[in-house]
């Protein structure tokens, strides 16, 4: 996204008006492999921060800390599936923290698997282009399933949880992070912000779910020992502050990119500041 407008950018713009068959891939094809707002090269998560986001040198640590925290919940030495792995920057971290026997990365966006080829090789991970809610894997293939900030994109969260349960072996662990809503937009301003976010990120309206609804869906899929925490104050708040400061640097993207990003960041900030958005970490076990 560093240079001029690409065909993928135009497809994304059209897709905001009318979703195609695969809205998430349209968005991530458009973002490309050098997103100018990424907190570090190839990283797309919001980070788990120490501090309020005003120290830019914390950003590369924060994105790794978030994945490390989640990967710590995986069984050590097992076969692990990473669902929605972005540009694969997280995969060497997952492989290292969980000492994986083998790592598989499932992503609906083929261009990201291609863009992340070297990182996947560093993690000795197998890339698979496919859908989280219809996984192309045999039952009981994995000891752990991890998904970082991706479940809100999936065509169906319950479908993803059912598939995660199916492909896990008994004793296997699911760990994921997600962006739930605490309540639905209640004012016209919040509604505009909510619709803008859904359209920009290619997210279906039915993906809006509360933490309790998500926990119940996980339990309904058959998982036990469901544990969750809400950490928006350490994730969303500092990330937005950091991105806003970056947008004030003249070197960050082109002027039109900065204007578009500022407009969209404002919408996201409305949802966060009004207490609509949160950030969820959840782990569960298949007995």
Ligand X SMILES: C[S@@+](CC[C@H](N)C(=O)[O-])C[C@H]1O[C@@H](n2cnc3c(N)ncnc32)[C@H](O)[C@@H]1O
Stretch touching ligand X by CB under 6 A, among 1-9, 54-62, 106-114, 218-226: 106-114
Site string for ligand X, 55-84 (x = CB under 6 A): ----------------------------xx
Q: From the CB of 211, what's the least distance to ligand X, in Å?
A: 18
Tokens read off for 186: 């209640």
Nearer to ligand X, 24 or 125 (CB): 24
**Interface of this chain with ligand X, residues 150 to 209, rule: CB under 6 A:** 150, 153-155
Tokens read off for 274: 């009004």
Contact between 103 and ligand X (CB under 6 A)? no
Stretch touching ligand X by CB under 6 A, among 94-102, 143-151, 162-170, 253-261: 143-151
- The burial of 247, by beta-carbon neighbours within 10 Å (0-12 exposed, 13-18 middle, 19 or more buried), is given as middle
Q: From the CB of 42, what's the least distance to ligand X, in Å?
A: 8
| Rounded Cα distance, 174 and 286, in Å | 8
Nearer to ligand X, 130 or 222 (CB): 130
Q: From the CB of 145, what's the least distance to ligand X, in Å?
A: 12
Contact between 107 and ligand X (CB under 6 A)? yes
Tokens read off for 34: 């050098």
Q: From the CB of 259, what's the least distance to ligand X, in Å?
A: 22
Instruction: Tell me which long-range contacts 5-14 makes (C-beta under 8 A, separation of at least 24).
Output: 6/30, 6/32, 8/32, 8/111, 12/202
Q: Is the torsion defined by CA of 25, 8, 200, 89 positive or negative?
A: positive
* Residue owning tokens 């997210």: 203
Q: From the CB of 151, what's the least distance to ligand X, in Å?
A: 8
- The burial of 106, by beta-carbon neighbours within 10 Å (0-12 exposed, 13-18 middle, 19 or more buried), is given as buried
Positions in the binding site for ligand X (CB under 6 A): 24, 28, 43-45, 83-86, 90, 106-109, 112, 131-133, 148-150, 153-155
């Amino acid at each position: 996204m560093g240079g001029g407008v690409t065909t993928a950018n135009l497809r994304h713009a059209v897709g905001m008006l009318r979703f195609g068959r695969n809205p998430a891939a349209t968005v991530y094809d458009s973002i490309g492999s050098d997103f100018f707002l990424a907190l570090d090269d190839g990283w797309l998560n919001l980070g788990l921060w120490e501090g309020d986001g005003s120290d830019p040198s914390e950003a590369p640590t924060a994105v790794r800390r978030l994945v490390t925290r989640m990967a710590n919940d995986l069984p050590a030495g097992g076969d692990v599936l990473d669902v929605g792995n972005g540009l694969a920057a997280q995969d060497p971290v997952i492989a290292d923290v969980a000492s994986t026997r083998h790592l598989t990365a499932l992503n609906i966006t083929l261009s990201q698997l291609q863009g992340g080829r070297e990182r996947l090789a560093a993690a000795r991970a197998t890339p698979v282009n496919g859908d989280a809610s219809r996984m192309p894997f045999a039952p009981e293939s994995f000891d752990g399933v991890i998904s970082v900030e991706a479940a809100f994109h999936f065509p169906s969260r319950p479908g993803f949880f059912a598939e995660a349960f199916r492909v896990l072996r008994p004793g296997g662990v699911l760990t994921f992070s997600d962006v739930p809503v605490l309540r639905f937009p209640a004012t016209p301003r919040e509604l505009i912000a909510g619709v803008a976010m859904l359209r920009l990120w290619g997210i279906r309206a039915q993906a809006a779910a509360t933490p309790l609804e998500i926990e119940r869906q996980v339990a309904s899929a058959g998982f036990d020992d469901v544990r969750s925490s809400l950490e928006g104050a350490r994730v969303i708040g500092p990330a937005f502050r950091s991105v806003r400061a970056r947008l004030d640097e003249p070197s960050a993207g082109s002027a039109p990119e900065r204007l578009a990003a500022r407009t969209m960041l404002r919408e996201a900030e409305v949802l966060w500041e009004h207490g609509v958005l949160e950030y969820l970490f959840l782990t569960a076990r298949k007995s």
